[in-house]
């Protein structure tokens, strides 16, 4: 049953409408982690049971970009 929850697709039309609540910028869908990512804000918003959780308190900080390296 957890496969059904994690594999629940996100409606592409919904993705077109959603924006980052912090920057109001676009979001990208990370299928592997089942989250919506705001590169500008450095946040990833979880999707639970096919529903995007667009709360900053629920978002994961993404630190994929090296900030002080080089």
The whole-angstrom separation of Cα 62 and Cα 48 is: 18
pLDDT, tens only, 20-68: 999 999 999 999 999 999 999 999 999 998 889 999 999 999 985 544 4
Residue 18 has pLDDT above 60, yes or no: yes
The whole-angstrom separation of Cα 4 and Cα 11 is: 15
- The confidence band for 11, taking pLDDT boundaries of 50, 70 and 90, is confident
Distances in whole angstroms, Cα of residue 55 to Cα of each of 5, 19, 58, 60, 66: 20, 12, 5, 10, 25
Q: In this predicted model, which residue has the larger pLDDT, 39 or 7?
A: 39
pLDDT, tens only, 26-36: 999 999 999 99
The whole-angstrom separation of Cα 60 and Cα 45 is: 6
CATH number for the segment(s) 2-61 = 2.20.25.10
Tell me the whole-structure pTM to 2 decimals: 0.76
Question: Hey, what are 41's tokens?
Answer: 């804000």
The whole-angstrom separation of Cα 66 and Cα 70 is: 9
């Amino acid at each position: 049953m957890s496969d059904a929850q994690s594999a629940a697709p996100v409606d592409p039309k919904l993705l077109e409408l959603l924006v980052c609540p912090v920057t109001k910028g676009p979001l990208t869908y990370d299928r592997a982690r089942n989250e919506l990512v705001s590169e500008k804000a450095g946040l990833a918003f979880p999707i639970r049971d096919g529903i995007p959780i667009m709360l900053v308190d629920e978002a994961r900080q993404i630190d994929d970009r090296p900030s002080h390296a080089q």
